[in-house]
Structure formats: structure tokens, C-alpha cells
Structure 1
């Protein structure tokens, strides 16, 4: 079987080569994303695997179908770059890697939260800019076991996040439209308003859908504590960036840890000229109570290996008619 991997990164190559050797399948790796221009590269292949945040154009689906390809496998948990309805209309099955390493995302979120909770960025700013090594009451920190951590979304990543915070002694509350009773030992399920109002650390773990776009807007932020820390390891579009910046500037929020931004597709994952970087990134990155990372919460050796192998296994499963648990409904 011949599989084309789009948007291949160097760190994925070893794992793809290992998989091909083990399974006897052929994998061709290309660095370009799947687009209306590059879809022609898939001719002669049995399936495709992608990893991108840029939307797949409408004409791509028909082109793949005309080549006899029956699926698109994304090496990510998120699949908002794909139009599921158009894929279905063209006989294409979409799969994602929902569980590649929930701990990887969870650990990054907790890391950023602890950095912000202990005011490390603010201390660094004073030391670097003013050579001021004094303590002051405005930078006294809370200890994590005294905090309430609020989760919006309690799936695999939210569940892993809850377990880490619970082990650190924090109180964990969560809102999820479909609460999993197996997670009850690690969190208390409450309504979304209670999460917003009571959380010292608010962590987002939901997909980007029309119903969740800008769910953290001016009104939601107004319900949060003045000292609250917002953590977004999910999708940038969940947060109204303008409202977030206003709240940080006014002192209404204590800080923000962001592995994703709404406009990230134009520069995350690339090296770009300074003028190509949007102003909202510059404004956020210059704040000592904000941490911005370029969508790398997933970026561990365990996660990358699993993403590659699961995605390629799914291509084979769809092609051969085997059972596949990662089909996006």
C-alpha cells in the first residue's frame, strides 16, 4: 500500500520509516500541506495523511475522490481544518488521532500555569530591566493546593489535566456536556458558570466548533476572578483575543498561558519576517504575565511517534475495510 504524508516534519521521518519497515507499506513524505495545488501529488497513492491547521479547500475533496482515495487521516486531535460534510459527500472518511498522548498536552498546560502562578515572568522582568531583586507583596504567590482549577472540557486531555492537578492537591471542577463518571475521583462536574466564577486557573480542552468559537469572550471573562489564570492548549479560536488583551491590560486577569492563537496559521510553525507577525502576538508576548508557545504542547517523542503510527494505521484500516475507532463522526 502506498501512502502520501503531507506536511511531514523532520522529527516524524524516523517514526514513519520504522512503521513502513514493520508493515511492509510504502510511505512517501512531503513537506507541503494538502492544498488545491498539491492534491495532484496524491495521484497513484492509496491514502493520505495530513498535519496542518490551514483549511483544506473545497476542490481538494473531489480531486481526492476522483483519484480513488477514500479517506483523509489527520495526524492531530483537532480536525477543524477539514469540512466533514464535503468529505462525506465525496465518499471520504476522516480520521483523527484523538489519543496520541493526553499527558503531553496536560503537562504543558500545568507547566505554564505553575510558571504564571509563581509570577516567574514578573520577577524576571524586574530583574532583567531594573536589576530589582526585591520581594514585594504584589508578587506573593498562591500554592497550588489552595487553588481551584476549572476545566471546560473533560475528555482525554482534560481528564489527564485533572489527574495531575488533583495529585498536586488542587480542587478540580469541570464542565462537560457529557461527563464521564470514571473521572469523578479527580473532579467535580458543575455548570459552566460555576467553573468561570470559581476557577483560579481556567483550562480549556474543547474542540473548535461554531458553538465554541470565542466562548471565552468579554462576558465570560467578566465572570472570572480578577486573579484568574487562563490556560489554552486547545484552539486559538476558543478565545476572543481582543477581549483577553483588554482584560490583561486592565488587571482583571492574573495571566494567560497560550499554546495557540486565533491567527496562528500565518506564522506558527514557520520562520517569518517581523512584519508578518500580527500585533496581538507582540502585545501578548511582551506581557510578563503571559506565556505564548507556538502550538507545541503535543511536541514530545511519545506523542509524535503515536501520531504518525496511529494515522498511518488508520489509512490502512479504511482502505482494507477493517474496523477503525478513530473515524470522526
Structure 2
């Protein structure tokens, strides 16, 4: 069995070598992305894995993989919106993912962003940078135990975030079309998203990106949120209409936004782009706002999560080939 790994990052190499040695399976590491130009490298391999920052939606890629006898792309991600799923299905290419790796990684950053905003850390640092250490009334903050946190999406990550917030003393409410039986004792479910948005001081998003969740947070439902609410998004960038978020931040309707993901993140994520490339973009705008904490898709970026992403994605290929059954498949 031979596996080709596309877009391998230096921080992943240790995990790949570890899995290869433990399973006695050859894994060839390729630094480039899976593209029309690089798909020919998959010839002679039994399976491929990738972590894409650009879409794989060119029909010719799937056509070539089928020609080479590769029936699976194992993505080292939870989300699979970077792939043309219908096109992959048409050519018999399964897209598998890693739905569960380290929920704590994402949940911890969601809590960190919320606390950073709640305690006005960015504004305090800005004042201090010019020698102002005074206890300005605009810098006074709320305690988390006085807040209601609304968890939107109560799967493993959302529930972990709710548990962490609860441990800090917050009141936790949640909304999800599919209620998690493990949520008992952690949060109180609300029947509608609107009900949650009206009650929550902090709204933390933990949903996949599908048609129903695209721009789930927008100007229409921002209006029903509490004044001075905080929105945290560590899910997918397009869960929020970022222009509507910025407008609410500038008007004072929202107190802050903690954003690990943006709809335009392929512009900059995991790249050294320089400031010129983001000049005039929403990224530059958000970076300059005192009430925004912006991180470039770093929520997953822990040693534990990276090891899990690599090993589970490779396990998906190994098990599929050995058993003839697909594991963690999203489109078959």
C-alpha cells in the first residue's frame, strides 16, 4: 500500500513519519496542493490525503484520479466545502474527512477570544502602548459569570466550548437542529436561533457550512441580539456576513467579534502574504479594529489536533482499502 500526502506542512511531518512507521506503510510527502497540475503525481498510489487552502472543483482532477484507480480523497480537515462533492460523486471519488480530532483545540480558542474581548485586552494594550495606564471607564469589563453564553451548534466542539464556559461560571444556552443527548447538565436548549440570540451576551458558532448555515448571522438577526453582545466564530467563515458584523461593530450594536475564520481566508491563511496583499481588504479592516480579535484559522493548531488530523486521515485510507468500506465519508 502506498499513500501520497499533498500539501504537507513542516508541523505535520513528525506525525506522518510516526504513522508510517507504526503501520509499516509507505507515505510519500508532497509539499504542493492537489491541483490540475499536480494530480498526475497520484499515479501509482492507492490513496491520497490533502489539506486544501484552495478549492478542488475542477472536473479534470476527479477524472484523472479515477483513471489512476484512486477512489478516495482523504481530507485532513473536518469541513469539506473546498471540494466539488457532486462532481466527486459523479466520478466515484469519495471525500472523507476527520469529523472528530481535538474538540478542545477549537473550543479553547473560542473561550480565549471571548475572554479577550470581554476584558477589553486589545483596548488596554493600545492605551498602554502610548503610556496611558489609567482606569478609563471605557475599559471596565464584565465578568464571565454574569454572562449568558449561547452555543450555536452543539456537537462535540460546541459542547466542549459550553463545558469550558460553564466551568468559568457562565450560564449556558444552546441551539441546534439536532440536540445532543450529552448536553444535559451543560446547557439549556432553546427552540429557535432567534430565542438564543435575544438572550445571549456571547454567541459562539460551532456549525458546519451548508446551504442552511450560509450567512446564518446577518443584519436581520443581529438586530435582535442584545446591545453589546459578542460574536465568536471558530466554525466556518461564511457562517457570518462579515460586512454586517463590521457595520454592527462600528455602530456599537455589537461589543466585539472574535474571528478565527473568514469567508475570504484563502487570501491569507497559512501564507506569508505581506501587508500589501491585504491592503484595502476586510482583513486589514478587522485587524485595525479595537473590538475585534482576529486569528488566521489557528483554532485547530495544537500538537494534539495535528497528530489526530494526520493519523485519522491516513487511517481512513488504510481501513477503506483493507475492508473495502469507506470511513468518515461525506459524499457516497
TM-score by length of 2: 0.96
Farther-moved stretch of structure 1 (186-195 vs 84-93): 84-93
Q: Is 1:296–2:263 an aligned residue pair?
A: no
8 Å Cα contact 1:70/1:318 also seen in 2: no
8 Å Cα contact 2:53/2:269 also seen in 1: no
Q: Which residue of 1 aligns with 2:312?
A: 310
Mapped partners of 2:303, 2:274: distance in 1: 29
Mapped partners of 1:324, 1:214: distance in 2: 31
What's the CA shift for 1:145? 1.1
CA displacement 1:14-56 (0-9 Å, x = unmatched): 1101111111111011111111111111111100001113210
| Count of residues in correspondence between the two structures | 328
Q: Which residue of 2 aligns with 1:280?
A: 282
Mapped partners of 1:291, 1:257: distance in 2: 5
What's the CA shift for 1:320? 2.1
Mapped partners of 2:287, 2:198: distance in 1: 26
Farther-moved stretch of structure 1 (120-129 vs 93-102): 120-129
8 Å Cα contact 1:100/1:306 also seen in 2: yes
Q: Which residue of 1 aligns with 2:136?
A: 136
8 Å Cα contact 2:320/2:327 also seen in 1: no
Mapped partners of 1:62, 1:317: distance in 2: 23
Shift of the 141–273 alpha-carbon distance from structure 1 to 2, 3 Å rule, reads closer
Q: Which residue of 2 aligns with 1:230?
A: 231
Q: Which residue of 2 aligns with 1:92?
A: 93
Q: Is 1:196–2:202 an aligned residue pair?
A: no
Mapped partners of 1:184, 1:54: distance in 2: 39
| Aligned-partner SS, 1:179 | coil
Q: Which residue of 2 aligns with 1:44?
A: 44
Give runs of aligned pairs for residues 1-329 of structure 1, distance below 5 A.
1-56=1-56, 57-129=58-130, 131-190=131-190, 191-277=192-278, 279-321=281-323, 324-329=326-331
TM-score by length of 1: 0.97
Mapped partners of 1:321, 1:61: distance in 2: 23
Mapped partners of 2:66, 2:325: distance in 1: 21
Shift of the 322–166 alpha-carbon distance from structure 1 to 2, 3 Å rule, reads farther
What's the CA shift for 1:231? 0.5
8 Å Cα contact 2:7/2:32 also seen in 1: yes
Mapped partners of 1:84, 1:35: distance in 2: 16
| Aligned-partner SS, 2:129 | helix
Q: Mind listing any 5+ residue stretches in structure 2 that lack a counterpart?
A: none
Mapped partners of 1:237, 1:53: distance in 2: 15
Mapped partners of 1:61, 1:322: distance in 2: 20
8 Å Cα contact 2:74/2:96 also seen in 1: yes
Q: Which segments of structure 1 move beyond 3 Å, counting only runs of 4 or more?
A: 322-325
